[in-house]
Structure 1
Amino acid sequence: MQMLKARIAELKDDIIALRRDFHAHPELGFQEFRTASVIEQYLQALGLTTARMAGTGVVALIEGQQEKPVLMLRADMDALPICEATEVDYCSCTEGVMHACGHDAHMAMLLGAAKVLVENRDNLRGTVKLVFQPNEEINGARDMIRAGVLEDPRVDAALGIHIWSQLPSGTVAATPGPVMGGLDVFKLAIRGKGGHTGFPEEAVDPVIAAGNLIMAVQAIQTREISNLHPTTIMFGKVEGGTKSNIIPEEVLLEGTIRYLYPAGPDSPEHPAQRFQRIAHSICDTYRCTCEINMDRENIPLINDPRLTRIATEAISQVLGPTEGLTTMQTIASEDFAEYSARIPAAFIFLGCGNPDKKTDIAHHNPEFNIDEDVLPLGVEIFVSSVFTFFQHTV
């Protein structure tokens, strides 16, 4: 591993340059055309054959001494609809679009790992499937799975790494079991009868129904579901009315329900079902009607215990047995969960938070940035995990 570490250190400037290029040219989900082209050119220059999936997704195989097992390494590609507020030289060139979640770093790290693995393919005791996935922010993983990313050859296990600004730079979190939350996105239209605020008795006010609904559903997470099953219900949008003295016909609400446990139709907790029950009851109480659209955007991300142990062993080889290795859970969601629900998978968090470099700002913030010094560490974790996985599986 020391020789590989030295090689990765030599590639640091190239990896940073890749990340900055992706950062300066962000593209939204399923619009990652330039991004996909850059990735294809890089992989093809390594002698790999690339294929497109789900429009802008890029897949390539690094075949070692034998075909099986197959370990999938995944990086996400899409940016966010955010106006960047950093002052870096490589700031976004696209107005209103920004890499504010670290996907630029994920791609750069996986490309760096691809280069090192290709250079050492004679020592690989299996196949590595490189997957650059579009549209993570709105579950592009499902589209990749429908397109056959887990087949031909069939994937035996998957590994992903996410840059994380809320962990100190160089810290790595590998946690068995639930690590990221499920996500239901809801939209409500509460309809009443418009009127004059001076004669409220002649109207049916959807505003008071909306206000009570927002407060009432908070009882779900504190009175109906165990505190041992983390649940959050958040409203991100409240819209209604045109003037201060007019009772509107309609109020629109949008938000999210997040949870760290399976919450399907057979789940006893089922927060979405409880939410809808209370919403309809509140609207009935205030003589309004309620139309609810509920979309399950992500399921909880659950790390396979065995694969997490293998990843932890690989990380320990990189960091040392006790330095910088921790565990972490978050209610934020990730579509890597679609892979972990189908095959053994592990999702690792790589800390990039450094207050001195102002890289400890939360993800999805206009001032989000990363500590680029951790990029080689991400490459090392990818590479070490590949060799450790094959060692334990073959």
Structure 2
Amino acid sequence: MDIKQLIDENYESMVELRRYMHQHPEVSFEEHNTKEWIYQQIKDLGLEIRRDVGGNGIVARLQVNDDYETVALRADFDALPINDEKDVPYKSKTPGVMHACGHDAHTAMLITIAKILSAHKEELPVNVVFLHQHAEELLPGGAKAMIADGALDNVDYVFGTHVSTKFPVGTIKYNYDTMYANADSFKIVVNGLGGHGATPQVTKDPIVASASLIQQIQTIVSRSVSPLDSAVVSIGAYNAGTVFNVIPGKAEIKGTIRTFTEEVRQDVAQRLEQICLGISGSFNVHADLEISNGYPAMKNDHDLLDYVVDNVRDDAFYVKDVEEVGPAMGGEDFSYFIQEKPGCYFYTGVRNADKNAATPHHHPLFDIDEEGMKTGVETLLKAVVNFDKRK
């Protein structure tokens, strides 16, 4: 199989796939047109296809030999509730919704890989499952529901990648330890007793109480987490009252907790509970805490990661640099797949400032250098076609 030639032959169609998706985004759990469009792209490839897996997911199997092991490749396909502010021909046609994280590129890459591998089925040493996953951007995510619905049945290993504008085109980046963090959220409702702003003495002011609460939350990481560990506790939303001269009856705080280990995760949760209890007693209010565990931390299988990156470290056409990078505090529900099966996940660089592809993810001007998709496709293709040669 001439991988470079096949990538070159399919590159223009891959760009067309990505740009069509970019123009027609749908947010998490509402990807009804997207899932139908994906099906139309792969329905004639000779795959065993299951639709509506765990919701809007699609699982497509390329069965080569019943005696072979099976590798799954995953791409997510939901967009974000962000208005596309780029001035490009493929700008989103849906106001307030855009592919601001690169899931359109992930899907275009996976469809392209499916086309190539299906056409060369007899040359493959492994069966391949293509996981098209919905709803990565919004809890509880689509991965967990797809797994519960059998997405990983008869799968032995699972691989995935995420395009990143942090890294230049031609690069593959990875992490051995913890690729992504536990991504949890919390809500605190401070219930007091409202009243007139001119008579605060007869109220139980939830604003003053929650102000102190927010201040104390900032001490969790600095005073309760070892400097040798990592944690983030951030307040993202605060809502209380609507009128200038009325003390409201309650205030609401929302935030996120990011940790790498279960021990630190539990320590932070315990400190939040203690602070809420203390504030309740100090201000004669009720600070009710609700913590929602999000996507778990993601840890790569070292042997599989070595295999995938070594495939392209010294012998590749489009991969120019392979390097380990530090962990990220972001969350990613690919972690559910890795919890079930040995697997690995890596970054595919798509940064190119000359093409206005250097804006951070989740930004209204987010875009990628589409040449970078060749890098991800090459890495995943080599991982499949060389699978019988791994150590």
Taking structure 1 as the reference length, the TM-score comes to 0.93
Measured in 2, the distance between the counterparts of 1:302 and 1:324 equals 18
Q: Which runs of 5+ in 2 are unaligned?
A: none
SS at match of 2:43: helix
Aligned letter for 1:384? K
User: 1:268/1:97 Cα in 2 relative to 1: closer, same or farther (>3 Å)?
Assistant: closer
Does structure 1 residue 315 correspond to structure 2 residue 317? no
Measured in 2, the distance between the counterparts of 1:318 and 1:298 equals 33
In structure 2, what is the equivalent of residue 23 of structure 1? 22
In structure 1, what is the equivalent of residue 36 of structure 2? 37
Measured in 2, the distance between the counterparts of 1:322 and 1:82 equals 33
User: 1:165/1:290 Cα in 2 relative to 1: closer, same or farther (>3 Å)?
Assistant: same
Contact 1:67 1:127 in 2 (8 A): no
Contact 2:14 2:109 in 1 (8 A): yes
In structure 2, what is the equivalent of residue 163 of structure 1? 163
User: 1:29/1:321 Cα in 2 relative to 1: closer, same or farther (>3 Å)?
Assistant: closer
Higher mean displacement: 352-361 or 185-194: 352-361
Contact 2:181 2:296 in 1 (8 A): yes
Deviation at 1:375, TM superposition (A): 1.2
Q: Which runs of 5+ in 1 are unaligned?
A: none
Choose the corresponding residue for 1:386, options 376, 384, 387. Answer: 384
The residue correspondences of 1:237-256 to structure 2 (distance < 5 A) are: 237-256=237-256
In structure 1, what is the equivalent of residue 279 of structure 2? 282
Aligned letter for 2:273? Q
Deviation at 1:353, TM superposition (A): 1.8
Measured in 2, the distance between the counterparts of 1:188 and 1:331 equals 22
Q: State percent identity of aligned pairs.
A: 33
Deviation at 1:315, TM superposition (A): 2.8
SS at match of 2:214: helix
Deviations 1:208-259 (A, max 9, x none): 1111111211222121112222110111111111122221111111111011
Does structure 1 residue 143 correspond to structure 2 residue 140? no
In structure 2, what is the equivalent of residue 331 of structure 1? 329
RMSD between aligned residues: 1.8
SS at match of 1:277: helix
Aligned letter for 1:64? V
Contact 1:225 1:269 in 2 (8 A): no
Deviation at 1:270, TM superposition (A): 3.1
Measured in 1, the distance between the counterparts of 2:103 and 2:353 equals 21
Count matched residues. Answer: 387
In structure 2, what is the equivalent of residue 361 of structure 1? 359
Deviation at 1:380, TM superposition (A): 0.8
Measured in 1, the distance between the counterparts of 2:243 and 2:177 equals 50
Choose the corresponding residue for 2:290, options 290, 293, 314. Answer: 293
Does structure 1 residue 273 correspond to structure 2 residue 270? yes
Does structure 1 residue 350 correspond to structure 2 residue 352? no
Deviation at 1:287, TM superposition (A): 1.3
In structure 1, what is the equivalent of residue 206 of structure 2? 206
Taking structure 2 as the reference length, the TM-score comes to 0.94
Aligned letter for 1:30? F
Deviations 1:260-315 (A, max 9, x none): 2235xxx6853223222212222321111022221111110111111111111123
4+ residue segments displaced more than 6 Å:
none
